[in-house]
Amino acid sequence: MKIEPIAFESLGVRSQATLVETKDVRILIDPAVSLAPRRYGLPPHRIEVDTLVELAKKITEKAREADVLIVTHYHYDHHDPGYVVPKEIYRDKVVLVKNPESYINPSQGKVRAPKFLRAIKGLPKEISYADGKEYRFGNTRILVSHPVPHGADVRLGYVIQVFIKDGDSSVLFTSDVEGVPSEEHVKFTLDTKPNFLVIDGPLSYLVGRALTEDQLQVSVKNMERLAKSGLETMVVDHHVLRDLKYREVLSGLYDVAKSSGVKVTTAAEILGRETLQLEAKRRELFAQDNSPAKIPRNLASLLRIDQEG
């Protein structure tokens, strides 16, 4: 099994796009990318926009190679109706999506999910509401969890987690659970016992606003439990990498993982690259070069033309 992070916070953008390739099938999870519209009161920096364009192109390229595309929920860093990544990536694919009609908050259920499904209508070979279901492609098994809350606050909606197994190799993609703050989030990992875990980590940079200090500590403790559950590798990225002090936040996890023989890493480190954290360093970027930028309005069209060309 080959597991390739495509776009993550440690690579400079908001995303969890991940490609999983087995002997039977190529699966691209959450093929989307975005930027924080404001951070520290600042808009995106030119370097962030340039990085987003580069990674949107890579997502588009990898989607062309994939057989199955999975959308775990309807936040714009996880799905795209054609704003940044061209909707044509869904053409002739098997598409597994979070059920838009149950366990979903109003903004996703009434606006985003319907807009997305209208945008890709007629493109996929097959669309399946994946919540709680199992799929097989040759000897590759895809098991999808029942919906779990997007972190500690159900007002942010629900996500589906994805477990993929091929022979003795297995990976679990938690989606946005914000560092497994409850037993409901922990259970799927403990039940499936993956070798490789891709997890997003808590929103530590928003303590006091999006979560309490107690919720943060519970999340980290639960991540430590997962590190002792038989894992070999744990990619911790996405939300927690928006915090410049993420290593300090996760210090207990690093200690537990080391004693348990588990490798804890970022997506960038897995790829042998520098961990960028461009959003978290936005103030620093503007101090060095005051260059605000906007995502090109026609980016998806440009990428589609480029791919067709």
In a domain, 280, yes or no: yes
What pLDDT score was predicted for residue 52?
97
Please write the tens of the pLDDT for every residue from 278-291.
Answer: 999 999 999 999 99
User: Mean per-residue pLDDT for 41-52?
Assistant: 98
Q: In angstroms, what CA-CA distances link 208 with 24, 169, 213?
A: 46, 39, 7
Burial of 290 (0-12, 13-18, 19+ CB in 10 A): exposed
Give yes or no for residue 304 having a pLDDT over 80: no
Give yes or no for residue 308 having a pLDDT over 60: no
Residue keyed to tokens 């370097």: 47
Please write the tens of the pLDDT for every residue from 125-180.
Answer: 999 999 999 999 999 999 999 999 999 888 889 999 999 999 999 999 999 999 88
Q: How many domains does the chain have?
A: 1
What pLDDT score was predicted for residue 13?
98
Give yes or no for residue 27 having a pLDDT over 60: yes
What pLDDT score was predicted for residue 307?
56
Residue 280 belongs to what domain range? Answer: 1-288
What pLDDT score was predicted for residue 309?
46
Beta strand 158-159 pairing with 162-166 = unpaired
In a domain, 304, yes or no: no
What pLDDT score was predicted for residue 156?
87
In a domain, 90, yes or no: yes
Q: Can you read off the two tokens belonging to residue 213? A: 């200090």
Please write the tens of the pLDDT for every residue from 75-116.
Answer: 999 999 999 999 999 999 999 999 999 999 999 999 999 999
In a domain, 295, yes or no: no
In a domain, 146, yes or no: yes
Give yes or no for residue 58 having a pLDDT over 50: yes
Q: Residue 181 belongs to a domain with what CATH number? A: 3.60.15.10
In a domain, 300, yes or no: no
In a domain, 210, yes or no: yes
What pLDDT score was predicted for residue 305?
57
Distance of alpha carbon 1 from alpha carbon 171, whole angstroms:
9
Comparing 303 with 269, the larger pLDDT belongs to 269
Please write the tens of the pLDDT for every residue from 191-248.
Answer: 999 999 999 999 999 998 888 999 999 999 999 999 999 999 999 999 999 999 999 9
Q: Can you read off the two tokens belonging to residue 286? A: 């503007």
In a domain, 238, yes or no: yes
